[in-house]
Amino acid sequence: MAVRYKKKAFFKKKAVFFTVTAIILISVMYMSINAYNINRLRERSFLVEDRVKSVDYFIGDIEKDIERGSYIASFRALLGIQQHITSTGEYLSDLDSVFTEILVNGTINSSYVSVMNDTELNKWIDKIRYEASKYSISFDYDIVDVELVHIDPWVVETRLNVILNISDTRGTSRWIRNQTINSTLGIELYEDPVYTINTLGRVINVIQETNITDFVTGNETSNLTYHVENSIYKASNSSPSYLMRLEGDFGSSCYGIESFVNLRKLETAGFIIEDKSCIDYIYFSVDDPQSWAINHTFNWLRIDNESNHLAIYEVVNITG
């Protein structure tokens, strides 16, 4: 009996040993598998994080590209509008709709404007979409609104409200952003449509800001005569802005600009000279306020005083 009991005790100890060993082995295997899975999840999370960062950086590049594209398209769109006004001999009836059409589609009244040269926004964004596809990024957009506004007399700004829909084709991430992308553009060196239309395209006047601050000193009028002879522009809140001029609106604006019409150039171009104020938006309008000849200048130069012009151009003491 004693021997049998010892055998039982021996087998019981052996069974416990194997059980403990099995538990340890299973625990080790479980921990190994768990560690492997954790490492895989960690690696995957790192990969996803890197991918998300890459797409996020790409979005920043997309926004910069659209801003650059908006600038180029805006520059050419204004050239296209200038070309359209010259060819039709008419002001725009709705600047907002014309600008939006040419900026986005490159067309005016559905006819392609060659000066756009495939720089319109739709073409520009197609190029961005193609580049995005190389990096397995899906890119779509919706242009909600386009504005063209002055931010000072010499600068206009294109404001593009666009919804960007960007996703990783691998399914790691997706962004939907409503962005307002602004690009600014100087108006100098564009043609003034007021001259183009009222002279039938015979006298072209390019916008150039004057650097003259003192027009007359005593009887010395050389600065004024230079300013007048070259039809250079001065900011004036009683005059129409450049954008207003595109629509033939001769009202006043805080972003207004004005120049003097060189009547000698008009006469050379075959026009009969009128005896009225030479300030452009007055000379080319039906308005004819009282005006005065200016001594020590040109015999054809006359200036009105409707908006304190005599004092602004410092000629109060030399009127004829």
pLDDT tens figures, 196-240? 999 999 999 999 999 999 999 999 999 999 999 999 999 999 999
* In contact, 138 and 132? CB cutoff 8 Å: yes
225/221 Cα distance (integer angstroms): 6
Nearest Cα neighbor of 187 from 202, 204, 209 is 209
Residue 83 has pLDDT above 80, yes or no: yes
First to last CA, the chain: 148
pLDDT in tens, 242-294: 999 999 999 999 999 999 999 999 999 999 999 999 999 999 999 999 999 99
Residue 129 has pLDDT above 90, yes or no: no
Per the structure block, which two tokens stand in for 307?
């908006």
Nearest Cα neighbor of 141 from 167, 117, 159 is 167
Distances (CA, A) of 218 to 118, 206, 298: 55, 30, 17
Mean pLDDT across the chain, nearest whole number? Answer: 86
Per the structure block, which two tokens stand in for 25?
């082995």
Per the structure block, which two tokens stand in for 93?
């009836």
pLDDT at residue 139 in the model:
82
* In contact, 153 and 255? CB cutoff 8 Å: yes
Sequence-distant (≥ 6) Cβ neighbours of residue 209 within 8 angstroms: 154, 188, 232, 233, 234, 235, 257
What's the pTM value of the predicted model, to 2 decimals? 0.82
pLDDT in tens, 12-56: 555 544 554 555 555 545 454 444 444 444 444 444 455 556 566
In this structure, the number of other CB atoms found within 10 A of the CB of residue 173 comes to: 17
For residue 75, report the phi and psi dihedrals to the nearest 5 degrees.
-60, -45
All structural domains of the chain with their residue ranges? 61-186, 193-318
Distances (CA, A) of 211 to 208, 214, 215, 223, 227: 9, 9, 10, 10, 9
